Structure 1
Amino acid sequence: MRVKVTRNYQITIPAEIRRKVNLRLGDVVDVTYDEKTGEIRIKKILDSL
């Protein structure tokens, strides 16, 4: 699935993906970058801050 980066460097996680991971307002996600593959990964954190 492709999304566009806004001028503030934000992205919208598509509704289909949000439903699959049960992502809700206020949830915390971890964003990592894999140097080897060039992939950005977003993972929902189960324990909130």
Structure 2
Amino acid sequence: MNTDSLTDTSALAPEGAARRARKEARRNQLLRAAGAALDELTERVP
């Protein structure tokens, strides 16, 4: 077994988790903005 590859993989895991967290935060931000835009549009409809 190649232990170097295991070490490299575990070293990258926190970076991958941070990337996923940023991606999820950005997605949530966009969803909130879209929801606010829809709310504003529906308020204008008689």
Higher-Rg structure is: 2
Which of structures 1 and 2 has the larger relative contact order (alpha carbons within 8 angstroms, sep 6+)?
A: 1
Q: Kindly indicate which of the two structures has a greater share of residues assigned to strand.
A: 1
Instruction: Tell me which interval the TM-score lies in, with the shorter structure as reference length.
Output: under 0.3
Q: Kindly indicate which of the two structures has a greater share of residues assigned to helix.
A: 2
**TM-score (normalizing by structure 2):** 0.18
